[in-house]
Copies of this chain bind each other. A is one copy, B any other.
Amino acid sequence: MAVKVLDESFGKVVLIKLKGGKVIRGVLHGFDQHMNLLLENSVEIFDDGKTSDLGSIVVRGDNVVIISPPPA
């Protein structure tokens, strides 16, 4: 199920909420069944709306709470 949704989000901007409250936005360039994610042009988004460039990152799947794919 998750794989199908992530598959449709490939190459698109996704919003990721992690355990501990970190929020990350980036272009989805890879994933696997553990929800490990590869994001390009990613930024961390802070509570005040400011962002910090992260560039290309791998997110370990066990930290993920919510993935928001782009609007259809």
Contact = CB atoms under 8 A, between A and B. Distances in A.
B54 A2 contact: no
* A-B interface, 5 closest residue pairs, ranked by CB to CB distance from nearest: A1-B30, A58-B67, A1-B32, A2-B36, A60-B64
Contacts of A38: 1-2, 5
Interface of A: 1-2, 4-6, 18-20, 22, 24, 30-32, 35-36, 38, 54-69, 71-72
A56 to B, nearest CB: 6
Contacts of A5: 30, 38, 58
Nearest to A44: B66
A67 to B, nearest CB: 4
